[in-house]
Amino acid sequence: MLPATAVSLAVLAALLAWPVPALLARARWPRRDPLVALVCWQAIGLAGGLSMIGALLVHGLSPWGHSLPEALRSVLTAHPAADPVRGDHWAALTLAGVLASELLGVLVLSWVRTTRTRRRHRELLELVVEPSAELPDTRLLDHPAPVAFCIPGARPLLVLSSGMVAELDGDQLAAVVAHERAHLREHHHLLLLPFVAWEAALPVLPAAGRAHAAVRELVEMRADDVALGSLSGTAPRRTLARAIVAAAGGGEEVPRGALAVSGGATGARVVRLLEPPSPLPVPVRWAALASAGLLLLVPTGLLVLPAL
Amino acid sequence: MASLGELERAVMERLWAADGPVAATALRDGLADRGVALTTVHTVLSRLEQKGFVVHDDARPRRFSARSSRADHAAELMREVLGQAGDRQAVLARFVGSVDADEARMLRELLAGAPDTSADAPAR
């Protein structure tokens, strides 16, 4: 018989692998409070991996004991299994090992790969472009396309193309810089990393790609919100929206792949700036944060607490 | 004393400006106003070689040249930025992702249609 813990973890894993991310990706409330939604996404990712691997582990070790601590203790002390160990136990253990090492391996791999690429970009930039006197962490790249981006890391760099500077007025440029600085200050690249890795590790799971796209969109909205807080001027929302539209204007030389996704997300950002949705009511906000916490507590509790 | 990064940039400037390969001694002479020793020039050159920005020939003494022009470097970076690949890997966070012509027009209409609440926002 399967231990109740393994069954509950498997059900949770199934919910987190498909219906829950699908619901959250389609929900309207995340754009009202991107930060809370980002917390929820992190909880879903973490709890999903934990329950998936945990379910396999608990089932695979069930001949040695009916809870994970109990089974681990008897395995580590070389106690013989109380029940006969069947093929499906070994299969579950193998699958747990493969999944755990794949998820962690891909995470480490994409971390190493992006870090290396970022370092090369930074070296290239520092060589090609001289730092400006008033903005030491900003580089102006001579290129007609209106582009702004940042390179995260220990020595972050903020890059503006000359096309961007030519296209925008002073207030709009300040809005762009504030947006990119928000990415850097809140380390948004770290929030994205697990979802990049998750998508690479589980390409068959449609939820993985959808989660990645949703988190990417939320991170941009969050950076917009932070930027608005630091902007002066009469209508910062409109200034930022105009900067986004101006930056999106030169779309000719861009390759065609994945355009609909980012274009739709850009439209959502502009709409959100021009017609701001009402912020989430405080109780709803706390309820969402509490569910995120609960989502992490449930699999952890199932794994650590003695058998049901 | 100039920082290594500054010196690297100065050496690259000279390599880019030169007609052909340049010897380290010539580079040192060019940087005389900074009071740079020959060993420092060699340090900077080997760092640049490690990063793949500089190559040397087999002449004696060795002569150094830039692997590609300044414009090529900038173009290479922009290709990665404008392409979707770098974006998907979360290497960089672009202010606005790629948008096709239809999307861009829709965005402009969105902006034009919204009530203008600011005093300093004339139509573009």
Show the domains of chain B with their CATH numbers.
4-66 (1.10.10.10), 70-113 (no CATH)
- Say which DSSP state A146 is in: -
pLDDT band at B92 (very low <50, low <70, confident <90, very high): low
Question: Residue B122: what pLDDT?
Answer: 43
Question: Residue B81: what pLDDT?
Answer: 72
pLDDT under 70: residue ranges of chain A: 1-2, 134, 250-263, 306-308
Question: Residue A185: what pLDDT?
Answer: 92
Decide: A104 and A111 in contact? Cβ < 8 Å: no
Question: Residue B116: what pLDDT?
Answer: 56
Decide: B41 and B48 in contact? Cβ < 8 Å: no
Q: Which residue has the higher pLDDT, B83 or A138?
A: A138
Q: Does B3 contact A at CB distance below 8 Å?
A: no
Instruction: Please give the structure tokens belonging to residue A286.
Output: 């706390």
Across the A/B interface, how many CB contacts are shorter than 8 Å? 175
Looking up tokens 């794949």, which residue turns up? A102
Cα–Cα distance, A53 to A103 (Å, whole number):
10
Q: How far is CA A241 from CA A236, A275, B41, in A?
A: 8, 11, 48
- Say which DSSP state A3 is in: -
Q: Which residue has the higher pLDDT, B123 or B57?
A: B57
ipTM > 0.85, yes or no: no
Question: Residue B118: what pLDDT?
Answer: 46
> Are B70 and A128 in contact (CB < 8 Å)?
yes
Residues B6-17: pLDDT tens digits?
889 899 989 999
Give the closest residue to A303 by CA, choosing from A91, A55, A113.
A55
Chain A contact probe: residue of B14, B15, B91, B106 with most A CBs at under 10 A: B91
Q: How far is CA A209 from CA A49, A196, A206, B45, B59, in A?
A: 15, 8, 6, 44, 54
What average pLDDT score do residues B89-110 get? Answer: 75
Question: Residue A74: what pLDDT?
Answer: 86
Hey, what's the torsion of the CAs at B29, B31, B37, B38, to 10 degrees? -50
